[in-house]
Chains A and B, each alone.
Chain A
Amino acid sequence: MTTYNEIAGRRVNFLSSDPTYVDTNSEGQVWYNSSTATLKAWLPVGTWSAGGNLNTTRAYGAGTGTQSAGLMAGGDTTPGTNTNSSENYNGIAWTTSGNMNTSKETLAGTGVQTAAVFFGGYTVPPSPTGDQSSTEKYNGTSWTTSGTMNTARRALSNSSAGTQTAALGFGGSNAASNLASTESYNGSTWTSVNSMNTARGYFAGFGSQTAAIGAGGNTTTQTSATESWNGTSWTTINSLNTARSGLAGAGTQTSGIAFGGSIPPFTGATELYNGTSWTSNPTGLSTARAGLGGGGTQTTAFAASGNTPTYTNVTEEWNFGVYSYSAAAWASGGNLNTARRALEGTGNGTQTAAIIMGGFTGSNTSATELYNGSAWTTSPATLNTARRKIGSFGTQTATLATGGTVTAVSNATESYNGTSWTTVNSMNSSKEAMGVFGIQTAGIVAGGSDASGPGFTNATESWNGTSWTTLPATINTTRADVGAFGIQSAGIIAFGSPQTAATESWNGSSWTSVNSGNTARIKPASSKNGTQTAGIVAGGSNPGVTGATESWNGTSWSNLPSMSTARNALAGAGTQSLGLVMGGDPTNGGATTTATEAWTGEVATASSKTLTTS
């Protein structure tokens, strides 16, 4: 097998935590997170998803903070109607907070949710009217006036650069023209510093007081021009790919993001800046808009409110770059209280709510145990008839157990309601080690051994919750000791004795041979609560005990990692993605085990929290 080292020329880093994404040069890095047992990579996958809605619909407000601790304040609630309201965001929902002292729009804000500063803006009549120089600090709950800009201005970048005690205000416009002037704030007073090269309003700004970016905006038309501030002067650098005004931005001078705006028309276009150039992301905001607020970083940002051209309260969240992959694997679970084998066809439920009954401990047992995802508890309820090689289907609290061997094969059937076992109508023929699937009120039994020797049967019986009916359909390959999963109208039977990998699909009325498994075996366990298109089998004998695991996708079988404890005659439960096996014979010589293993299928995740495939 080709290794990653042979392909990429380097080994995968083994790290206890994810590395910090630096910039787009980090793309393609691969590492293994030993804490979460996941293989991860930075990939250029960036996507906006829906966040919580603002309580106050608005546009042309200002935003700052992070995706999990954001702040929005000011703006227009309708055209020409200013607001002084502010809201805090926790990554899920917005909460209304204290009002600013002055209602205004097209202001700028910077800092964090608990220490921000908002300044400038425009207030429509009656008073105070026109361009604003006022500056207000926010402590997470309330606003305090602190300082006055040297040049009153509006149409600032809605999110600006710096912190509450070291901010930068630049650009914007007043009644006469667009502005290039820049001012530096020390927490109490503003000082004029060198101007931008291009006067502009309605642009994106981000970064720090000594390392900032101004991008896009309106000069006489929409511009793509971008400038970089080094603490002393502005330098024109590579332009945005899409000229626009009314956009928002976030991040740092070497790792930034710009989104939204008006070309016109309104756009959701999103671009990433790496300190040198802008790269357009394949997808943008779901709702195109201008005059929006935002904050965060290049990898996790938020965009809130805006003009669509109706004003909106919706928020979108940006996540960029982490693709993680958790390989499918078996993990140890809690041990059975009673070691047992001869569990062919036994067990059902889910990985966190399973049941096992009967089996062989040296003699037949009637013991029933219940699993909660970590430990087995012996149920006070026992089978009315102790036996082995029982067929069972259903859930932990609604199970049917049928057939098996007492001293001879049996057709006895018992129903479990979560508290006790009740004998119900028997199968039409006695047998053991059948293929079984379904729920307590609707199941299928197929194949099995109808004598204590190798007298295999191909018969199919159907259970309707009250009685058994022998169906005219028979399985194509007569056998016992099989794997099986599904529901009464759609199931799979596979593998079995005599040793085979033959697989058949049940459609409610007939059996059809489909693609065989890879490793012929007898006495495997299966994900009993799987479906006709998704299941696993594990373990068995071929002829020695094996831990081999195979997954069925509705068409074919594929090999998966093996169990830790190879064994046969074990029980199974769960599904293709979350399976469970327990008990069995690890020697193929009559030994018993209490071992339980839990199966988790592969999981791939993009953007840290979505795109789940398995």
Chain B
Amino acid sequence: MALFIYGVASNYGKDFFTAQDRQNFFLRGYPGDVWVIGATEKGALWLAERGVEKTKSEAQAIVDGEVSKAQAAYDALPEDQKTNLNRQRPTAINLP
């Protein structure tokens, strides 16, 4: 059985996820409103009420797209800003 389910849900703010949710199931947010959720009944219900389920590859593609945008934004910065602000080029994020 898979450990995680994947989905897209827009964080609407207060109580989008509660401390109760965090104690009930694994929950981690990624760029592109992608969420990785523990594959439990409560986790699945949380996603069903807030967003839509994706396959892992679909979710990974969304994250990859967001990282690519962030890399492009970084690449567009003047070289002196990259150096002065000690910022590092965004690296790939691999979903668990």
Does A420 make an interface contact (CB < 8 A)?
A: no
Given A309-B67, A310-B31, A606 and B19 contact (CB-CB distance below 8 Å): yes
Interface digits, A259-273 against B, CB 8 Å rule (1 contact, 0 not)? 000101100100000
Q: Which stretch, A233-241, A283-291, A388-396, A465-473, touches the partner chain B?
A: A283-291
What residue in chain B is nearest A613 (Cβ atoms)?
B20
Name the A residues within 8 Å of B93 (CB-CB): 265
Chain B residues within 8 Å of A, Cβ to Cβ: 11-23, 27-32, 66-67, 69-71, 73-74, 76-78, 81, 84-88, 90-91, 93
Name the B residues within 8 Å of A53 (CB-CB): 11-13
Does A612 make an interface contact (CB < 8 A)?
A: yes
Does A415 make an interface contact (CB < 8 A)?
A: no
Q: List 25 A-B contacts (CB under 8 A).
A: A49-B19, A53-B13, A78-B73, A79-B77, A79-B87, A80-B76, A80-B77, A93-B14, A105-B85, A106-B85, A173-B86, A265-B91, A265-B93, A268-B28, A283-B22, A286-B28, A287-B28, A287-B29, A308-B29, A309-B90, A315-B13, A606-B19, A611-B20, A611-B23, A612-B20
5 closest A-B pairs by beta carbon, nearest first, are: A309-B90, A287-B29, A50-B16, A610-B19, A610-B20
When the two chains form the complex, which single residue of A175, A202, A286 contacts B84, counting CB atoms closer than 8 Å?
Answer: A175
Least CB distance from A190 to B in Å reads 23
Does A147 make an interface contact (CB < 8 A)?
A: no
Contact A50 B17 (CB under 8 A): yes
Known: A93-B13, A610-B20. 17 other contacts (CB 8 A): A50-B11, A50-B16, A51-B13, A52-B13, A106-B85, A122-B84, A124-B81, A155-B85, A262-B88, A264-B91, A288-B29, A308-B29, A309-B71, A310-B70, A606-B23, A611-B19, A611-B20
What residue in chain B is nearest A60 (Cβ atoms)?
B85
Does A170 make an interface contact (CB < 8 A)?
A: no
Name the A residues within 8 Å of B66 (CB-CB): 309-310
Q: Which of A265, A288, A310, A607 has most chain B Cβ within 10 Å?
A: A310
Least CB distance from A135 to B in Å reads 21
Task: Report, as a range, how many residues of chain A touch the other chain.
Answer: 35 or more
What residue in chain B is nearest A106 (Cβ atoms)?
B85
Give bound CA distance, A50 to B76, whole Å: 32
Name the B residues within 8 Å of A51 (CB-CB): 13-14
Give bound CA distance, A45 to B70, whole Å: 35
Least CB distance from A609 to B in Å reads 7
Does A445 make an interface contact (CB < 8 A)?
A: no
Q: Which of A80, A309, A607 has most chain B Cβ within 10 Å?
A: A309
Does A48 make an interface contact (CB < 8 A)?
A: yes
Q: Which of B15, B85, B87, B93 has most chain A Cβ within 10 Å?
A: B85
Within 8 A of B (CB), among A76-102: 78-80, 92-93
Contact B74 A79 (CB under 8 A): yes
Name the B residues within 8 Å of A410 (CB-CB): none
Name the A residues within 8 Å of B20 (CB-CB): 610-612
Name the A residues within 8 Å of B11 (CB-CB): 50, 53, 314
Give bound CA distance, A47 to B19, whole Å: 6
Does A218 make an interface contact (CB < 8 A)?
A: yes
When the two chains form the complex, which single residue of A201, A288, A612 contacts B28, counting CB atoms closer than 8 Å?
Answer: A288
Q: Which of B30, B31, B71, B76 has most chain A Cβ within 10 Å?
A: B31
Name the B residues within 8 Å of A79 (CB-CB): 70, 73-74, 76-77, 87
Contact A308 B31 (CB under 8 A): yes
Name the B residues within 8 Å of A606 (CB-CB): 19, 23
Does A532 make an interface contact (CB < 8 A)?
A: no
Least CB distance from A260 to B in Å reads 12
Name the B residues within 8 Å of A124 (CB-CB): 81
Given A48-B22, A609-B19, A610-B19, A308 and B77 contact (CB-CB distance below 8 Å): no
Name the B residues within 8 Å of A405 (CB-CB): none
Give bound CA distance, A165 to B49, whole Å: 47
Contact A155 B86 (CB under 8 A): yes
Least CB distance from B40 to A in Å reads 15
Q: Which of B22, B71, B81 has most chain A Cβ within 10 Å?
A: B22
Does A158 make an interface contact (CB < 8 A)?
A: no
Does A319 make an interface contact (CB < 8 A)?
A: yes
Does A154 make an interface contact (CB < 8 A)?
A: yes
What residue in chain A is nearest B77 (Cβ atoms)?
A80
Name the A residues within 8 Å of B85 (CB-CB): 105-106, 122, 154-155
Give bound CA distance, A175 to B23, whole Å: 44
What residue in chain B is nearest A318 (Cβ atoms)?
B19
Contact A319 B30 (CB under 8 A): no
What residue in chain B is nearest A175 (Cβ atoms)?
B84
Contact B22 A47 (CB under 8 A): yes
Contact A309 B70 (CB under 8 A): yes
Name the B residues within 8 Å of A264 (CB-CB): 88, 91
Least CB distance from A55 to B in Å reads 11
Given A155-B85, A218-B86, A286 and B19 contact (CB-CB distance below 8 Å): no
Least CB distance from A320 to B in Å reads 10
Give bound CA distance, A53 to B20, whole Å: 19
Name the A residues within 8 Å of B88 (CB-CB): 262, 264
Give bound CA distance, A53 to B30, whole Å: 16
What residue in chain A is nearest B94 (Cβ atoms)?
A265
Least CB distance from A604 to B in Å reads 11
When the two chains form the complex, which single residue of A80, A155, A262, A286 contacts B27, counting CB atoms closer than 8 Å?
Answer: A286
Give bound CA distance, A314 to B27, whole Å: 15
Give bound CA distance, A175 to B11, whole Å: 37
Name the A residues within 8 Å of B91 (CB-CB): 264-265
Q: Which of A78, A80, A202, A268 has most chain B Cβ within 10 Å?
A: A80
Least CB distance from A10 to B in Å reads 29
